Amino acid sequence: MDYVIEMLNIRKEFPGIVANDDVTLQVGKGEIHALLGENGAGKSTLMNVLFGLYKPEKGSIKVHGKEVNIEDPNVANRLGIGMVHQHFMLVDTFTVTENIVLGSEPSKAGTVDIKAAEKEVQALSEKYGLNVDATAKIRDISVGMQQRVEILKTLYRGAEILILDEPTAVLTPQEIKELTQIMRDLVKEGKSIILITHKLKEIMQICDKCTIIRKGKGIGTVDVSETNPTELASLMVGREVTFKTDKTPASPGETALNVKNLKVKDFRGVEMVKGLNLDVRKGEIVGVAGVDGNGQVELVEALTGLKKSSSGEISLNNRSIYNLEPRKVTESGVAHIPQDRHKHGLLLDFPIGENLVMQNYYMEPNSKRGVLNFKKIYEKARSLIEEYDVRTPNAYTQARSLSGGNQQKAIIAREVDRSPDLLIAAQPTRGLDVGAIEFIHSKLIEERDKGRAVLLVSFELDEIMNVSDRIAVMFDGQIIAEVKPEETDEQELGLLMAGRKSEKRGEA
Ligand SMILES: Nc1ncnc2c1ncn2[C@@H]1O[C@H](COP(=O)(O)OP(=O)(O)O)[C@@H](O)[C@H]1O
Ligand SMILES: [Mg+2]
């Protein structure tokens, strides 16, 4: 077999961590090759090595069988390697074409003929079915189209090998289908694609080969036609996994959370929540579905007191919690599993035991007249560690040194243990392995069954469909539809998430 790319026995270290440890990746021409691993496994690092952003400590790279030294991204481009990063690198106020020619080596005496470039970009877009308007400004086009601009940018530079870093994470199901078709067209034209993902379904649907990295180590490469999701999952996490969420129907009680006409601005002062209405009753899980960037982050921040709203009402059990300080919101009965566990979830340099009492360290019995009672704190911590199966050497271990899944279990232990009236879970399983995901889902359901109101905000449709009793679709700062999981499907949800009213229902 002739390989277009070979990364052999790559090792890449960062201070205190080996991000890639003896990883080998061999990609054939015309192949869609998945790079699979949990969050933090080292996928992006490996691709940044290939793209010349990092220099490996060990190992070698061959392009078309010839050993190369990829010193920087310009060298990578010349070798025909293009990369679409997880976070796009486009200038908002520039046009598509301006972004594409930006930084590529100009032809005649340092100038670029924009009109000619526009034509070329438009032609490339048509050739690969990218459906991009070469003259549009980036700020006016959808996230999906921005991603296609990034793909065009690599093609314009002559890429033969395209690296796509978790491209589907920001897309709706329909956009994912479109991207799938684009990838198929690209390989038909002889391009090769390295697709980074942790979604097994995607791999099964579109990839030819799959290379697995687990905790930085290269585990191996499998033929997708000879494997299945269960095997891929266990290769990824290193043990057996099952995929099911056991759940009985909900029996919702009175309204717990009531949000009326809520408006919230983001850090730039742009209104992101635009008159939102939402109810969550006791004993039900309401899932907020939506594509990233439609105001979900601002909604959760407003509900938890992390951000002031500009107008509207928020009440919990008929008492206003609108614009209260975070601690007051907490004391009113709201618990929060935050999207960013590092920024809002844990004090990473503190022992896990102290993190477990972060919300109520100032209350009895953890503290009396302002004096902390460490004996009580650690007694409590140890029982939570046990109950929630937080894998840590002991309660004194720094939170930082726990794995993502165990950090998340610790946050959940802390938040759920306070017996909140309302539990807000924002992306609670993002980047976690399947085992931790199962555990967290079962905890959310358990809380629901104790009569608590649960608000789940997630970009993962599978999660929304499996866990929610009711789905609220968020688009452009509003809840534009409510559906029952058993009465909808990914197709309909995807359309709603893209802001289109459901055809099936006539109106949402
Ligand atoms: N620039 C960096 N400096 C220090 N550590 C890093 C850097 N980039 C990544 N890491 C660490 O390397 C590990 C692998 O990260 P990454 O390659 O981003 O994983 P993945 O893409 O599989 O989620 C993680 O533990 C991450 O924290
Ligand atoms: Mg990554």
Does residue 148 lie in a domain region? yes
Span from the CA of 338 to the centroid of ligand 1 (angstroms):
21
In this structure, the answer to whether residues 257 and 353 fall within a common structural domain is no
Terminal C-alpha separation, the chain = 53
Beta strands in 185-254 (DSSP E): 192-197, 209-214, 217-223
Proximal ligand: closest to the CA of 50: 1
In this structure, the answer to whether residues 93 and 224 fall within a common structural domain is yes
Alpha helices in 280-348 (DSSP H): 296-304, 326-331
| Pair 421, 400: CB distance under 8 Å | no
Mutation to probe ligand 1, out of 17, 237, 341 (largest number of atoms < 8 A from CB): 17
Span from the CA of 194 to the centroid of ligand 2 (angstroms):
13
Does residue 434 lie in a domain region? no
**Pairwise CA distance, residues 81 & 85, whole Å:** 13
HEC profile of 397-445: CEHHHCCHHHHHHHHHHHHHHCCCCEEEEECCCCCCCHHHHHHHHHHHH
Does residue 23 lie in a domain region? yes
In this structure, the answer to whether residues 167 and 147 fall within a common structural domain is yes
Does residue 441 lie in a domain region? no
User: In this structure, what DSSP letter does residue 211 have?
Assistant: E
For position 501, what pLDDT does the model report?
Answer: 63
For position 506, what pLDDT does the model report?
Answer: 45
Nearest-atom number in ligand 1 for the CA of 15 is: 4
Which residues of the chain fall short of a pLDDT of 70? 105-111, 241-244, 361, 501-508
Coil/strand/helix, residue 184: helix
**Pairwise CA distance, residues 155 & 143, whole Å:** 19
Span from the CA of 20 to the centroid of ligand 1 (angstroms):
9
pLDDT digits (tens, 9 = 90+) for 340-399: 777 778 888 899 988 898 777 677 777 777 777 788 889 889 999 998 888 888 899 999
In this structure, the answer to whether residues 35 and 113 fall within a common structural domain is yes
Mutation to probe ligand 1, out of 20, 45, 164, 433 (largest number of atoms < 8 A from CB): 45
Boundary of a domain, candidates 237, 253, 285: 237
In this structure, the answer to whether residues 40 and 154 fall within a common structural domain is yes
- Nearest C-alpha to atom 27 of ligand 1 is from which residue? 40
Amino acid at 38: E
Boundary of a domain, candidates 217, 237, 257: 237
| Pair 235, 228: CB distance under 8 Å | no
Nearest-atom number in ligand 1 for the CA of 431 is: 23
Nearest to 47 by CA among 157, 164, 149: 164
Nearest to 76 by CA among 48, 118, 57, 103: 48
For residue 192, the enclosing domain spans 3-237
In this structure, the answer to whether residues 65 and 16 fall within a common structural domain is yes
**Pairwise CA distance, residues 398 & 381, whole Å:** 13
Chain centroid to CA 196: 13
Task: List for the chain the helix, strand, coil content (%; round to 5).
Answer: 35, 25, 40
| CA dihedral angle for residue 381, residue 385, residue 387, residue 390, rounded to 10 degrees | 160
The domain tally of the chain equals 3
Proximal ligand: closest to the CA of 40: 1
**Pairwise CA distance, residues 212 & 221, whole Å:** 6
Nearest-atom number in ligand 1 for the CA of 42 is: 17
For 449, left (φ over 0), alpha (ψ -120 to 50), or beta?
Answer: alpha
In this structure, the answer to whether residues 66 and 110 fall within a common structural domain is yes
- Nearest C-alpha to atom 16 of ligand 1 is from which residue? 42
Span from the CA of 494 to the centroid of ligand 1 (angstroms):
31
For position 225, what pLDDT does the model report?
Answer: 97
- pTM beyond 0.75: no
**Which residues sit opposite 82 in a β-bridge?**
162
pLDDT digits (tens, 9 = 90+) for 98-153: 999 887 755 555 667 888 899 999 999 999 999 999 999 998 998 889 999 999 99
Nearest to 382 by CA among 408, 361, 351: 351
Span from the CA of 43 to the centroid of ligand 2 (angstroms):
6
Does residue 440 lie in a domain region? no
Does residue 436 lie in a domain region? no
- Nearest C-alpha to atom 11 of ligand 1 is from which residue? 19
Proximal ligand: closest to the CA of 17: 1
What is the DSSP annotation of 62-73?
Answer: EETTEEE---SH
Tokens, residue 89: 């690198």
Tokens, residue 498: 């893209």
| Pair 65, 3: CB distance under 8 Å | yes
What is the DSSP annotation of 11-38?
Answer: EEEETTEEEEEEEEEEEETT-EEEEE--
- Nearest C-alpha to atom 7 of ligand 1 is from which residue? 14
In this structure, the answer to whether residues 400 and 474 fall within a common structural domain is no
| Pair 311, 319: CB distance under 8 Å | no
Span from the CA of 111 to the centroid of ligand 2 (angstroms):
36
Distances (CA, A) of 386 to 35, 70, 341, 379: 35, 48, 21, 11
| Pair 98, 135: CB distance under 8 Å | no
Ligand 1 lining (C-beta closer than 6 Å): 14, 17, 19, 37, 39-45
| CA dihedral angle for residue 71, residue 35, residue 17, residue 10, rounded to 10 degrees | -50
In this structure, the answer to whether residues 268 and 137 fall within a common structural domain is no
For position 457, what pLDDT does the model report?
Answer: 97
| Pair 287, 447: CB distance under 8 Å | no
In this structure, the answer to whether residues 410 and 370 fall within a common structural domain is yes
Find the CATH number of the domain harbouring 221: 3.40.50.300
In this structure, the answer to whether residues 267 and 222 fall within a common structural domain is no
| Pair 333, 314: CB distance under 8 Å | no
| Pair 313, 259: CB distance under 8 Å | yes
Does residue 442 lie in a domain region? no
Does residue 131 lie in a domain region? yes
Distances (CA, A) of 7 to 11, 30, 136, 170: 10, 17, 38, 28
- Nearest C-alpha to atom 14 of ligand 1 is from which residue? 42
Boundary of a domain, candidates 419, 438, 465: 419
In this structure, the answer to whether residues 154 and 258 fall within a common structural domain is no
